[in-house]
Amino acid sequence: MCGIVGYVGKRDVLPVLLGGLSKLEYRGYDSAGVAYIADGAMQIVKCKGRLANLQEKLSGTVAENTIGIGHTRWATHGEPSDVNSHPHTNMAGDLAVVHNGIIENFAKLKQWLQGKGIHFVSETDTEVVAHLVNYYYEGDLKSAVMRAVKMLEGSYALGVMNINEPHRIVAARKDSPLVIGLGQGENLIASDFPALLEYTKDVYLLDDGEVAVITEDAVEIYDAYGNRAEKEKFTIDWDVTQAEKGGWEHFMIKEIHEQPRAMYDTLMTRMRGNRIDLSEINITEELIKGIRGIHIVACGSAYHAGIMGKYVIEQVARIPVNVDVASEFRYRMPSPLLSKDDLFIVISQSGETADTIAALREAQSKGAKVIAITNVKGSTISREADATMHTQAGMEIAVATSKGYLTQVLCLYMVAAELGRMRGTLDEAQYTAYVENLKKLPALLEQVLEGKEIVQQLASKRFMDVNEFFIGRGADHALMMEGSLKLKELSYIHSETYAAGELKHGPIALIEKNTLVMALATQTALLEKLVSNIKEVKARGAFVVAMTQQSNVAALEKDADLVLTLPDIDDLFAPILAAVPYQLYGYYTAVFKGCDVDKPRNLAKSVTVE
Ligand code: G6P
């Protein structure tokens, strides 16, 4: 959601800004712009639409040995338009600001500034910041920014430049990510790592309330009181190639294919002999004995991973698990019910989702110890949680998650195994068998990927659908929540998930001749029940595509129109394999429809506002 890049150094600033912004496209945006200093003036170029439009406007322009800030905007206050695009300026146009986040008290501040004769041109909350910093400007940009941010309520990551100080950028952060890239004779700011990787892997992670002054050979960081803050250097362990398609048509399909590797790394970095080592999250036998329940809180696909976690933890470790979406949890009235004897887990691929961060803080304020499962080392969630389990998915660029989600699910399976072992609900033999099944997953996922053609063919026949249903029971239902979401977000086909037993309570009214019903049936104990549900929708004309393990195919063949086959594995682990065909189905459907697969409309990868 919104992207910021800023550069101070000798290079031509425009390719650095445009290149950096292109690496942040995945965050979601609808307009883009840059500000840079050239010919003794603040140059602002911005426009609605894709970065290519901005690139075209800037073609042929060179601006070396100067400073610049760039922005991709995901509209919140005011429609996507040239004028609402960032950077925003003061009335004289000699001060420029880019901003991520939401200034919640912008209306009050705007009124106050208007009372002083200041004229606004956009509908954005950000423009307030430009006028406010200018209002306090008395020759020192850092002091002006520090005074201005004290007036702001809400969230912000800011990059600010002033024509009178043409060799420095001032940055500030509160509840919205911002990192500072440390180069040789050049420094950068960015809202996320991919924008920096071409230049440096060494960064400072700005903390809430801090303000930074960036010049080409120095970065000074100040706390909210104006004192110099000592920062530790953080080194990004991702590679610039991860932010490239590497021959694939889309990041989405590349990342779907990276899942066997991501799963292998996520598991094997924790295997010590035949034991899963979760010492990183301090789950000790003593802690486990005292646990009454587990809360899992997350958003989007991470929430779906949490629901899978509920099924597996309850089955394997016999501990009740409550799963909540973060935006609901944080506002539970009068406050969320939490006991200090509960284990609290937040899940977030990006580690920057605003509602999940708020839920984490809420839980900590109630005395809970928070365990995070996240993909991004150095992210806010990774830093604020009491303990963190990092998925090893690698950088995920496509807005719709695949490897991020599946490695979260795997982490929860690992947590379940350890909880089960420590509580004695898994005996030694069962634990060993469980671990062996986890180890089989990467190879079996490869096998599932090899069967992609049949999924592609199915998508080629159904991409004009307007409505589809995804059903399953138990963990299959949890998996279908994600399967349905993939189709919806990638192809814009309306799809709904239902616990198969719930169909009769309403949704069956929507089944017509040829309505596609995807039925996942990996839980052998529930197979007959699911077959009954398939018969019910078939009787009403549905076209049923079932999916199950090889050894169960015969039980479904008579009733389903098509059966997609998964390799045999213990039922407990089969839903993990089933994730892949549904990701592929969403992907191919979107491709046949001509959708923007990596950047679906209206969506953002990292939702940094609530
Ligand atoms: C957005 C993304 C989803 C993601 C969700 C939660 O909606 O498009 O793919 O599942 O945010 O993101 P997080 O980074 O917290 O996992």
Same domain, 257 and 337: yes
Identify whether residues 249 and 233 lie together within a single domain. Answer: no
CATH number at residue 331: 3.40.50.10490
Average pLDDT rounded to a whole number, residues 363-392: 94
pLDDT for 170 equals 98
DSSP per residue, 281-343: GT--HHHHHH--EEEEEE-HHHHHHHHHHHHHHHHHH---EEEEEHHHHTT-SSS----TTEE
Ligand 1 contact via 349 beta carbon (within 6 Å): yes
Q: Per-residue pLDDT averaged across 318-339, rounded? A: 90
pLDDT in tens, 83-108: 999 999 999 999 999 999 999 999 99
Tell me: do 227 and 104 sit in the same domain: yes
Contact, 430 vs 556, CB < 8 A? no
Q: Over 90: is that where the pLDDT of 376 sits?
A: yes
Give the whole-number percent of the chain exceeding pLDDT 70: 100
Do residues 18 and 28 make contact, with C-beta atoms less than 8 angstroms apart?
Answer: no
* 606 pLDDT tier (thresholds 50, 70, 90): confident
Q: Tens of pLDDT along 37-52?
A: 999 999 999 999 999 9
100 and 148 inside one domain: yes
What is the rounded CA–CA span in Å between residue 581 and residue 294? 30
Task: Note the maximum CA span of the chain.
Answer: 80
Show which of 206, 240, 274 is a domain's final residue.
240
Q: Are residues 294 and 155 in the same domain?
A: no
> What dihedral angle (degrees, nearest 10) is formed by the CA atoms of 294, 295, 300, 304?
30
289 pLDDT more than 90: no
Sheet holding 202-205, edge to edge: 41-48, 31-38, 64-73, 3-12, 187-190, 179-182, 202-205, 234-235
Regarding predicted confidence, which is higher, 211 or 367? Answer: 211
Q: First CA to last CA across the chain, in angstroms?
A: 11
Specify whether 253 is located in the same domain as 173: no
- Residues 228 and 363 both lie in one domain: no
Distance 505 CA to ligand 1 centre (A): 30
Higher-pLDDT residue of 606 and 163 is: 163
Answer yes or no: is 273 within a domain: yes
Q: How far apart are CA 335 and CA 29, in angstroms?
A: 34
CA–CA gap between residue 250 and residue 588 (Å, rounded): 11
Backbone angles phi, psi at 338, to 5 degrees: -140, 140
Q: What's the 320 CA to ligand 1 centre distance in angstroms?
A: 25
Domain match, 182 and 104 both = yes
pLDDT tens per residue across span 552-564: 999 999 999 999 9
C-beta of 407 in contact with ligand 1 (< 6 A): no
Asked whether residue 610 carries a pLDDT value surpassing 80, the answer given is no
Cα-Cα-Cα-Cα torsion 419, 424, 430, 431, nearest 10 degrees, comes to 40
pLDDT at 172 exceeding the cut of 80: yes
75 confidence band (pLDDT: 50, 70, 90): confident
Q: Which residue has the tokens 């037993």?
A: 501
Residues 135 and 64 in one domain: yes
Mutate to test the pocket of ligand 1, among 191, 301, 379, 603 (most ligand atoms within 8 A of CB): 301
* Cα 393 to ligand 1 centre (Å): 14
In the chain, % of residues over pLDDT 90: 87
Q: DSSP of 227-257, one letter per residue? A: -B-----EE----GGGGS-TT-S-HHHHHHH
> What's the rounded mean pLDDT across residues 424-438?
97
* 606 in any annotated domain: no
442-480 tens-digit pLDDT: 999 999 999 999 999 999 999 999 999 999 999 999 999
Active site residues: 2, 605
d(CA 595, CA 249): 13
Residue 304 CA: nearest ligand 1 atom is 10
191 and 71 together in one domain: yes
End-of-domain residue from the set 448, 465, 482: 448
Query: Looking at 402, 424, 448, which one is the last position of a domain?
Result: 448
| Number of folded domains that form the chain | 3
Ligand 1 center–CA 298 separation, angstroms: 9
The best mutation among 349, 355, 409 to test binding of ligand 1, ranked by most ligand atoms within 8 Å of the C-beta, falls on 349
Q: Which one of 308, 347, 382, 605 would you pick to mutate in the ligand 1 pocket, going by the greatest count of ligand atoms within 8 A of its CB?
A: 605
* C-beta of 18 in contact with ligand 1 (< 6 A): no
Please give the model's pTM, rounded to 2 decimal places.
Answer: 0.90
Question: Is residue 604 a part of any domain in this protein?
Answer: no
Task: Look at strands 494-499 and 467-472 and give their pairing.
Answer: parallel
Averaged pLDDT of the chain: 95
User: Is 350 close to ligand 1, i.e. is its CB under 6 Å away?
Assistant: yes
Q: What is the pLDDT of residues 9-47, one digit of tens each?
A: 999 999 999 999 999 987 778 899 999 999 999 999 999
Instruction: Give me the domain span that covers residue 250.
Output: 245-448
Q: Examine the pLDDT at 163 and tell me if it is beyond 90.
A: yes
79 and 225 together in one domain: yes
Under the banding of pLDDT at 50, 70 and 90, the label for residue 340 is confident
**pLDDT tens column, 350-359:** 999 999 999 9
